[in-house]
C-alpha cells in the first residue's frame, strides 16, 4: 500500500520532472516540492482560516471572562473553552493537519531519491518495476551533482542544514501568531524552536535532496501565507466578527396568560412587567341636612 500510494508515484514524478527540466535533478526536486504544496493548498487555506478564527475568538470578551472566572480551575477552564470552540465550529487541532501530512511525504521523498539515484545493479533491478510511465526508464542513471553537492548524500559543509533551520523558523514564526493564553503561548514558542531544530537534524542525516525539499517547501509556504493573508484574512475577520455578534444570548423566560379559548391575552417579561390596575375608590355623596 505504501509503495502504491506514496513511493512509486513520487519516483515517476521525479523522473518525469527530470526529463522535462533538462535532466537537472535539483530542478526536478524543486518542481516536485512545488507540486506537493499545490496539492495541499486547500489544507493550507483551512489551516490559515482556523488560525484567524481562533485568534479572533481568543481575543473576545467572552473568552477573557471565562479565563478570569476559572483561572484557578484548569479542568473547568478547558471544558468552557471547548464549549466555545464547538459553538463557533472550530477544531483546535485542525491547524496541525498540513504539518502531519509532511511526514509521510518526507519519508516517501527520501526513499524515492535513494531508489532513483541507483548506484548498483541490484538497485537498478529494484527500480525497473516501479517505473510505469513510458520512456522514463531510459533517463536512468541521473545527473546527481549540483555545485559542491552530491544530491544523494548529506551536505559536507553543513550549509543546507543551516538554511533549513532558518527557513523553517521563519515559517513557524509566521504560522504561530501571538496568543493571549499563557499556556498556549508557551507551547507555540516551544514549537517555534523544536520544529526547525528537528528539520535541521533530518537535513544532517538525510540526503541533500531532502534538505532542498525542506528549504523550497518553507519558501513556498511563506509565499502562500502572504498571498492568503492578502486575499482572505479580511474576509475571515469579518466572518469572525459576524459570528461573535450573532452568538445566541441566554433566553429570557416569558410568562403568558392564556384564556380558555387558547388565545394569548397578555405577555409579561421579567424586564417589562405590567402594573396591576388600581381600583377606583367610589366617593360617597354627602347628604346636606336641611
CA-wise closest residue to 87 among 234, 235, 240: 240
* Cβ contacts of 95 within 8 Å, gap of 6 or more: 47, 50, 51, 54, 175
* Per-residue pLDDT at 237: 67
Q: Mean pLDDT score of the chain, rounded to an integer?
A: 75
| From 36-40, 92-96, 278-282, the region with the lowest mean pLDDT | 278-282
| Mean pLDDT, rounded, for 155-161 | 88
Q: By the 8 A CB rule, do 193 and 137 touch?
A: no
- The pLDDT score that the predictor gives to residue 267 is 45
What pLDDT sits at residue 162?
93
Angle at 39 between CA 218 and CA 143, to 5 degrees: 65
| Confidence grade of residue 262 (pLDDT, cut at 50, 70, 90) | very low
Q: Is the pLDDT of residue 191 over 70?
A: yes
pLDDT at 265: 43
Closest Cα partner for 28 from 170, 139, 165?
Answer: 139
The pLDDT of residue 236 is above 70: no
* 49, 232 Cβ separation under 8 angstroms: yes
Provide the percentage of residues in the chain whose pLDDT is more than 70: 72
Average pLDDT over residues 237-244: 66
Specify which residues 268 forms β-bridges with.
255
Could you identify the residue written with the cell 516517501?
108
Q: Of the ranges 84-88, 187-191, 228-232, 252-256, which one carries the lowest mean pLDDT score?
A: 252-256
Checking if the pLDDT of 101 tops 90, the result is no
Distances (CA, A) of 98 to 48, 69, 105, 108, 168: 11, 35, 11, 16, 14
Alpha-carbon span 37 to 31, nearest angstrom: 10
Q: What are phi and psi of 146, to 5 degrees?
A: -150, 115
Chain-centre distance of CA 196, in angstroms? 17
- At 251 the pLDDT is 42
- The residues facing 255 across adjacent strands are 268
Per the model's pLDDT, the better-predicted residue between 95 and 102 turns out to be 102
Residue 196 has pLDDT above 70, yes or no: yes
Percentage of residues in the chain with pLDDT exceeding 90? 5
Please check the confidence at residue 7 and state whether its pLDDT lies above 80. Answer: yes
Residue 31 pLDDT class (50, 70, 90 cuts): very high
Closest C-alpha among 50, 40, 96 to residue 217 = 40
pLDDT at position 119, please? Answer: 64
Amino acid at each position: 500500500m505504501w509503495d502504491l500510494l506514496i513511493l512509486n508515484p513520487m519516483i515517476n514524478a521525479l523522473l518525469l520532472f527530470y526529463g522535462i527540466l533538462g535532466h537537472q535533478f535539483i530542478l526536478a526536486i524543486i518542481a516536485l516540492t512545488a507540486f506537493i504544496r499545490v496539492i495541499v493548498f486547500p489544507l493550507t487555506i483551512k489551516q490559515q482560516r482556523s488560525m484567524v478564527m481562533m485568534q479572533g475568538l481568543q481575543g473576545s470578551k467572552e473568552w477573557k471572562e471565562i479565563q478570569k472566572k476559572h483561572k484557578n480551575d484548569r479542568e473547568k477552564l478547558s471544558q468552557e473553552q471547548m464549549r466555545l470552540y464547538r459553538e463557533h465550529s472550530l477544531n483546535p487541532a485542525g491547524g496541525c493537519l498540513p504539518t502531519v501530512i509532511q511526514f509521510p511525504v518526507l519519508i516517501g521523498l527520501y526513499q524515492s531519491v535513494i531508489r532513483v539515484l541507483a548506484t548498483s545493479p541490484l538497485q537498478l533491478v529494484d527500480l525497473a518495476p516501479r517505473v510505469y510511465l513510458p520512456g522514463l526508464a531510459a533517463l536512468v542513471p541521473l545527473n546527481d551533482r549540483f555545485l559542491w553537492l552530491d544530491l544523494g548524500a548529506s551536505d559536507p559543509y553543513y550549509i543546507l542544514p543551516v538554511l533549513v533551520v532558518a527557513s523553517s523558523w521563519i515559517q513557524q514564526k509566521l504560522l504561530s501568531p501571538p496568543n493571549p493564553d499563557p499556556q498556549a503561548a508557551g507551547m507555540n514558542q516551544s514549537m517555534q524552536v523544536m520544529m526547525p531544530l528537528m528539520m535541521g537534524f533530518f537535513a544532517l542525516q538525510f540526503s541533500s535532496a531532502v534538505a532542498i525539499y525542506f528549504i523550497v517547501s518553507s519558501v513556498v509556504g511563506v509565499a502562500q501565507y502572504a498571498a492568503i493573508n492578502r486575499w482572505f484574512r479580511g474576509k475571515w475577520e469579518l466572518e469572525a466578527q459576524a459570528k461573535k455578534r450573532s452568538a445566541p444570548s441566554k433566553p429570557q423566560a416569558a410568562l403568558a396568560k392564556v384564556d380558555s379559548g387558547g388565545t394569548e391575552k397578555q405577555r409579561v417579561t421579567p424586564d417589562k412587567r405590567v402594573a396591576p390596575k388600581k381600583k377606583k375608590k367610589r366617593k360617597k355623596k354627602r347628604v346636606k341636612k336641611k
